[in-house]
Protein backbone atom coordinates (compact mmCIF):
# COMPACT_ATOMS: atom_id res chain seq x y z
CA UNK A 1 0.00 0.00 0.00
CA UNK A 2 1.45 3.34 -1.12
CA UNK A 3 0.84 6.69 0.52
CA UNK A 4 1.20 10.02 -1.25
CA UNK A 5 1.14 12.90 1.24
CA UNK A 6 -1.97 12.44 3.31
CA UNK A 7 -3.94 10.64 0.58
CA UNK A 8 -3.95 7.03 -0.47
CA UNK A 9 -2.42 6.49 -3.93
CA UNK A 10 -4.70 4.52 -6.19
CA UNK A 11 -3.44 1.11 -7.27
CA UNK A 12 -2.46 0.61 -10.89
CA UNK A 13 -4.93 -0.90 -13.34
CA UNK A 14 -3.35 -3.53 -15.56
CA UNK A 15 -4.48 -5.81 -18.40
CA UNK A 16 -2.80 -7.98 -21.02
CA UNK A 17 -3.36 -6.95 -24.63
CA UNK A 18 -3.66 -9.10 -27.76
CA UNK A 19 0.12 -9.24 -28.17
CA UNK A 20 0.53 -10.58 -24.61
CA UNK A 21 2.01 -7.29 -23.44
CA UNK A 22 0.98 -5.95 -20.06
CA UNK A 23 -0.57 -2.49 -20.17
CA UNK A 24 -0.65 -0.66 -16.84
CA UNK A 25 -2.05 2.75 -15.95
CA UNK A 26 -1.59 4.62 -12.68
CA UNK A 27 -5.31 5.42 -12.80
CA UNK A 28 -8.18 4.73 -15.20
CA UNK A 29 -7.72 6.45 -18.56
CA UNK A 30 -9.45 9.81 -19.08
CA UNK A 31 -7.97 10.75 -22.49
CA UNK A 32 -8.16 7.86 -24.96
CA UNK A 33 -7.26 7.85 -28.66
CA UNK A 34 -8.39 4.99 -30.92
CA UNK A 35 -6.37 4.26 -34.06
CA UNK A 36 -8.96 2.40 -36.14
CA UNK A 37 -12.72 2.72 -36.70
CA UNK A 38 -13.15 -0.65 -35.02
CA UNK A 39 -11.11 0.40 -32.00
CA UNK A 40 -13.22 3.56 -31.69
CA UNK A 41 -16.37 1.48 -31.67
CA UNK A 42 -14.93 -0.92 -29.09
CA UNK A 43 -14.06 1.94 -26.73
CA UNK A 44 -17.62 3.27 -26.98
CA UNK A 45 -19.07 -0.21 -26.46
CA UNK A 46 -16.89 -0.66 -23.37
CA UNK A 47 -18.55 2.42 -21.87
CA UNK A 48 -15.61 4.78 -22.36
CA UNK A 49 -16.90 6.96 -25.19
CA UNK A 50 -16.77 10.08 -23.04
CA UNK A 51 -13.05 9.51 -22.46
CA UNK A 52 -12.28 9.43 -26.20
CA UNK A 53 -10.45 12.56 -27.35
CA UNK A 54 -9.31 11.47 -30.82
CA UNK A 55 -9.89 8.94 -33.60
CA UNK A 56 -8.82 8.20 -37.17
CA UNK A 57 -10.74 8.80 -40.39
CA UNK A 58 -13.85 6.68 -41.10
CA UNK A 59 -14.58 6.35 -37.37
CA UNK A 60 -18.31 6.80 -37.87
CA UNK A 61 -20.03 4.58 -35.30
CA UNK A 62 -21.70 5.34 -33.01
CA UNK A 63 -22.73 8.76 -34.40
CA UNK A 64 -20.88 10.57 -31.60
CA UNK A 65 -17.63 9.20 -33.07
CA UNK A 66 -18.02 11.48 -36.10
CA UNK A 67 -17.43 14.53 -33.88
CA UNK A 68 -14.06 13.38 -32.52
CA UNK A 69 -10.87 15.19 -33.61
CA UNK A 70 -9.04 13.26 -36.35
CA UNK A 71 -5.46 12.09 -35.89
CA UNK A 72 -4.80 10.76 -39.39
CA UNK A 73 -5.93 7.51 -40.97
CA UNK A 74 -5.45 4.00 -39.63
CA UNK A 75 -2.46 3.46 -41.93
CA UNK A 76 -0.89 6.94 -41.66
CA UNK A 77 -1.00 8.51 -38.22
CA UNK A 78 -0.52 12.19 -37.42
CA UNK A 79 1.85 11.91 -34.45
CA UNK A 80 1.84 15.64 -33.73
CA UNK A 81 -1.95 15.68 -33.54
CA UNK A 82 -1.92 12.63 -31.28
CA UNK A 83 0.61 14.08 -28.85
CA UNK A 84 -1.15 17.46 -28.81
CA UNK A 85 -4.25 15.72 -27.40
CA UNK A 86 -2.19 14.44 -24.43
CA UNK A 87 -3.57 10.88 -24.39
CA UNK A 88 -3.13 8.67 -21.36
CA UNK A 89 -4.10 5.57 -23.41
CA UNK A 90 -3.93 4.68 -27.10
CA UNK A 91 -5.83 1.73 -28.56
CA UNK A 92 -3.90 0.52 -31.62
CA UNK A 93 -4.81 -1.94 -34.37
CA UNK A 94 -1.96 -4.43 -34.40
CA UNK A 95 -2.20 -5.62 -38.01
CA UNK A 96 -3.47 -2.36 -39.52
CA UNK A 97 -1.56 0.55 -37.99
CA UNK A 98 2.02 1.42 -39.01
CA UNK A 99 3.85 -0.19 -36.12
CA UNK A 100 6.91 2.04 -36.42
CA UNK A 101 4.69 5.03 -35.62
CA UNK A 102 2.94 3.23 -32.78
CA UNK A 103 6.29 2.21 -31.31
CA UNK A 104 7.44 5.84 -31.44
CA UNK A 105 4.44 6.78 -29.32
CA UNK A 106 5.36 4.07 -26.85
CA UNK A 107 8.95 5.31 -26.60
CA UNK A 108 7.51 8.73 -25.71
CA UNK A 109 5.81 7.15 -22.72
CA UNK A 110 2.25 6.86 -24.02
CA UNK A 111 0.59 3.58 -22.89
CA UNK A 112 -0.61 1.55 -25.90
CA UNK A 113 -3.13 -1.30 -25.91
CA UNK A 114 -2.63 -3.43 -29.04
CA UNK A 115 -5.95 -4.83 -30.26
CA UNK A 116 -6.23 -7.75 -32.68
CA UNK A 117 -9.40 -9.82 -32.05
CA UNK A 118 -9.36 -13.01 -34.13
CA UNK A 119 -12.37 -14.82 -32.68
CA UNK A 120 -15.69 -13.57 -31.37
CA UNK A 121 -14.73 -14.31 -27.80
CA UNK A 122 -11.69 -12.08 -28.33
CA UNK A 123 -14.07 -9.16 -28.95
CA UNK A 124 -15.79 -9.81 -25.64
CA UNK A 125 -12.44 -10.09 -23.88
CA UNK A 126 -11.32 -6.81 -25.46
CA UNK A 127 -14.44 -5.07 -24.16
CA UNK A 128 -13.68 -6.34 -20.67
CA UNK A 129 -10.04 -5.24 -20.81
CA UNK A 130 -10.77 -1.78 -22.20
CA UNK A 131 -13.40 -1.30 -19.52
CA UNK A 132 -10.82 -2.11 -16.84
CA UNK A 133 -8.41 0.45 -18.29
CA UNK A 134 -11.16 3.08 -18.47
CA UNK A 135 -12.83 2.32 -15.15
CA UNK A 136 -16.13 1.36 -16.83
CA UNK A 137 -16.19 -2.31 -15.84
CA UNK A 138 -19.97 -2.66 -15.43
CA UNK A 139 -20.76 -1.39 -18.92
CA UNK A 140 -17.94 -3.33 -20.56
CA UNK A 141 -18.89 -6.56 -18.83
CA UNK A 142 -22.51 -6.16 -19.87
CA UNK A 143 -21.55 -5.62 -23.50
CA UNK A 144 -19.19 -8.60 -23.42
CA UNK A 145 -21.81 -10.88 -21.89
CA UNK A 146 -24.44 -9.77 -24.40
CA UNK A 147 -22.17 -10.55 -27.35
CA UNK A 148 -21.24 -13.98 -25.96
CA UNK A 149 -24.88 -14.83 -25.31
CA UNK A 150 -25.98 -13.76 -28.79
CA UNK A 151 -23.26 -15.72 -30.53
CA UNK A 152 -23.93 -18.81 -28.41
CA UNK A 153 -27.60 -18.67 -29.42
CA UNK A 154 -26.66 -18.57 -33.11
CA UNK A 155 -24.24 -21.48 -32.67
CA UNK A 156 -26.95 -23.59 -31.08
CA UNK A 157 -29.54 -22.64 -33.69
CA UNK A 158 -27.32 -23.56 -36.66
CA UNK A 159 -25.38 -26.46 -35.17
CA UNK A 160 -27.24 -28.99 -37.34
CA UNK A 161 -27.87 -26.77 -40.38
CA UNK A 162 -27.12 -28.16 -43.83
CA UNK A 163 -23.71 -26.89 -45.00
CA UNK A 164 -23.59 -24.20 -47.70
CA UNK A 165 -20.40 -23.35 -49.60
CA UNK A 166 -19.63 -19.63 -49.37
CA UNK A 167 -17.38 -17.14 -51.11
CA UNK A 168 -17.11 -13.93 -49.09
CA UNK A 169 -15.75 -10.94 -50.99
CA UNK A 170 -14.04 -8.49 -48.66
CA UNK A 171 -12.64 -6.21 -51.38
CA UNK A 172 -13.04 -5.55 -55.12
CA UNK A 173 -9.73 -4.23 -56.52
CA UNK A 174 -7.74 -6.32 -55.88
CA UNK A 175 -10.26 -9.10 -55.38
CA UNK A 176 -9.85 -10.34 -51.80
CA UNK A 177 -11.45 -12.82 -49.44
CA UNK A 178 -10.71 -14.22 -45.94
CA UNK A 179 -9.27 -17.48 -44.64
CA UNK A 180 -10.51 -19.60 -41.74
CA UNK A 181 -8.47 -17.64 -39.18
CA UNK A 182 -10.51 -14.50 -39.90
CA UNK A 183 -13.49 -13.40 -37.80
CA UNK A 184 -15.71 -13.28 -40.89
CA UNK A 185 -14.98 -16.95 -41.49
CA UNK A 186 -16.06 -17.74 -37.93
CA UNK A 187 -19.35 -15.98 -38.70
CA UNK A 188 -19.73 -18.14 -41.83
CA UNK A 189 -19.01 -21.27 -39.78
CA UNK A 190 -21.51 -20.32 -37.06
CA UNK A 191 -24.22 -20.02 -39.73
CA UNK A 192 -23.45 -23.47 -41.13
CA UNK A 193 -21.44 -22.19 -44.05
CA UNK A 194 -18.18 -23.48 -45.48
CA UNK A 195 -15.61 -20.89 -46.57
CA UNK A 196 -14.36 -22.11 -49.96
CA UNK A 197 -11.07 -20.25 -49.50
CA UNK A 198 -10.70 -21.06 -45.81
CA UNK A 199 -7.50 -23.08 -46.21
CA UNK A 200 -5.44 -20.30 -47.80
CA UNK A 201 -2.47 -19.13 -45.76
CA UNK A 202 -3.04 -15.36 -45.73
CA UNK A 203 -5.63 -13.83 -43.41
CA UNK A 204 -7.10 -11.75 -46.26
CA UNK A 205 -5.71 -13.33 -49.46
CA UNK A 206 -5.84 -11.85 -52.95
CA UNK A 207 -7.51 -14.21 -55.40
CA UNK A 208 -8.58 -14.28 -59.05
CA UNK A 209 -12.06 -14.50 -60.53
CA UNK A 210 -10.91 -17.74 -62.15
CA UNK A 211 -10.27 -19.17 -58.68
CA UNK A 212 -13.84 -18.33 -57.66
CA UNK A 213 -15.17 -19.95 -60.83
CA UNK A 214 -13.17 -23.09 -60.02
CA UNK A 215 -14.57 -23.24 -56.47
CA UNK A 216 -18.13 -22.66 -57.79
CA UNK A 217 -19.66 -21.66 -54.41
CA UNK A 218 -23.37 -21.99 -53.70
CA UNK A 219 -23.50 -18.40 -52.51
CA UNK A 220 -21.48 -15.21 -52.96
CA UNK A 221 -21.64 -12.63 -50.17
CA UNK A 222 -20.02 -9.21 -50.41
CA UNK A 223 -19.49 -6.12 -48.35
CA UNK A 224 -18.99 -2.90 -50.26
CA UNK A 225 -17.78 0.69 -50.31
CA UNK A 226 -20.82 1.88 -48.35
CA UNK A 227 -23.49 0.71 -45.96
CA UNK A 228 -26.04 0.27 -48.76
CA UNK A 229 -23.89 -0.37 -51.82
CA UNK A 230 -24.12 -3.91 -53.23
CA UNK A 231 -22.36 -2.94 -56.48
CA UNK A 232 -19.55 -5.47 -55.94
CA UNK A 233 -22.07 -8.23 -56.69
CA UNK A 234 -22.91 -6.93 -60.17
CA UNK A 235 -19.78 -8.23 -62.01
CA UNK A 236 -20.56 -11.80 -60.94
CA UNK A 237 -23.82 -11.84 -62.87
CA UNK A 238 -21.91 -12.23 -66.14
CA UNK A 239 -20.69 -15.67 -65.02
CA UNK A 240 -23.82 -17.69 -65.76
CA UNK A 241 -22.04 -20.98 -65.05
CA UNK A 242 -21.69 -20.19 -61.34
CA UNK A 243 -24.19 -21.98 -59.12
CA UNK A 244 -24.57 -18.84 -57.01
CA UNK A 245 -25.57 -16.84 -60.10
CA UNK A 246 -27.90 -19.52 -61.47
CA UNK A 247 -29.79 -19.63 -58.16
CA UNK A 248 -29.75 -15.88 -57.53
CA UNK A 249 -27.65 -16.40 -54.41
CA UNK A 250 -25.78 -13.08 -54.45
CA UNK A 251 -26.12 -11.25 -51.15
CA UNK A 252 -24.88 -8.05 -49.53
CA UNK A 253 -24.00 -7.48 -45.87
CA UNK A 254 -23.28 -3.95 -44.65
CA UNK A 255 -19.50 -3.85 -44.13
CA UNK A 256 -19.63 -2.14 -40.73
CA UNK A 257 -21.50 -5.17 -39.38
CA UNK A 258 -19.01 -7.83 -40.51
CA UNK A 259 -15.74 -6.14 -41.42
CA UNK A 260 -14.98 -4.48 -38.08
CA UNK A 261 -14.21 -6.57 -34.98
CA UNK A 262 -16.94 -5.05 -32.82
CA UNK A 263 -20.26 -6.04 -31.19
CA UNK A 264 -21.99 -5.07 -34.46
CA UNK A 265 -20.73 -8.39 -35.80
CA UNK A 266 -23.61 -10.04 -33.95
CA UNK A 267 -26.07 -8.20 -36.21
CA UNK A 268 -23.92 -8.93 -39.26
CA UNK A 269 -23.76 -12.63 -38.42
CA UNK A 270 -27.54 -12.76 -38.03
CA UNK A 271 -27.89 -11.21 -41.50
CA UNK A 272 -25.40 -13.71 -42.90
CA UNK A 273 -27.29 -16.61 -41.32
CA UNK A 274 -30.54 -15.31 -42.80
CA UNK A 275 -28.96 -15.26 -46.28
CA UNK A 276 -27.78 -18.88 -45.88
CA UNK A 277 -31.29 -19.83 -44.75
CA UNK A 278 -32.55 -18.37 -48.04
CA UNK A 279 -30.06 -20.52 -49.96
CA UNK A 280 -31.22 -23.65 -48.12
CA UNK A 281 -34.86 -22.83 -48.79
CA UNK A 282 -34.14 -22.46 -52.53
CA UNK A 283 -32.44 -25.86 -52.60
CATH for 54:
3.40.50.1980
CA 135 from centre of chain: 22
Domain with 137 in it: 8-150
Q: In whole angstroms, give the CA distance from residue 184 to residue 118.
A: 9
What is the tens place of the pLDDT at every residue in 100-131?
999 999 999 999 999 999 899 999 999 999 99
**Co-location of 173 and 235 in the same domain:** yes
What is the tens place of the pLDDT at every residue in 130-152?
999 999 999 999 999 999 999 99
Residues 6+ apart with CB under 8 A from 156: none
Measuring CA to CA, which residue among 169, 172, 164 is closest to residue 192?
164
Cβ–Cβ < 8 Å for 87, 53: yes
Confidence of residue 283 (pLDDT cuts 50, 70, 90): confident
| pLDDT of residue 38 exceeding 80 | yes
**Co-location of 185 and 273 in the same domain:** yes
List, as one string, the DSSP characters of 213-252: HHH--SEEEE--SSTT--GGGGGGGG-TTSHHHHTT-EEE
At residue 93, the 3 state secondary structure works out as strand
**Co-location of 28 and 129 in the same domain:** yes
Q: If you average pLDDT over residues 86-104, what whole number do you get?
A: 95
Measuring CA to CA, which residue among 97, 104, 113, 259 is closest to residue 184?
259
Number of structural domains the chain divides into? 2
Model pLDDT, residue 10: 57
**Co-location of 111 and 21 in the same domain:** yes
Q: In whole angstroms, give the CA distance from residue 84 to residue 69.
A: 11
| pLDDT of residue 62 exceeding 90 | yes
**Co-location of 12 and 113 in the same domain:** yes
| pLDDT of residue 226 exceeding 90 | no
Q: If you average pLDDT over residues 184-198, what whole number do you get?
A: 97
Q: If you average pLDDT over residues 52-62, what whole number do you get?
A: 95
**Co-location of 142 and 25 in the same domain:** yes
Model pLDDT, residue 3: 32
Model pLDDT, residue 181: 93
Amino acid sequence: MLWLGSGLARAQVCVTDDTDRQVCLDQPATRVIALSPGATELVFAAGAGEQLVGAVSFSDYPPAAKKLPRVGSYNRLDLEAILALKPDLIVAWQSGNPMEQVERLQTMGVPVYHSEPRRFDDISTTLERLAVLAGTEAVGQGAADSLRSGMDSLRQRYAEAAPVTVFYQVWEEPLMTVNNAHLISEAIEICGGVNVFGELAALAPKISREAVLAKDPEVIIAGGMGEDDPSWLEPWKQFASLRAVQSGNLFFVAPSTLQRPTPQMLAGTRTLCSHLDTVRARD
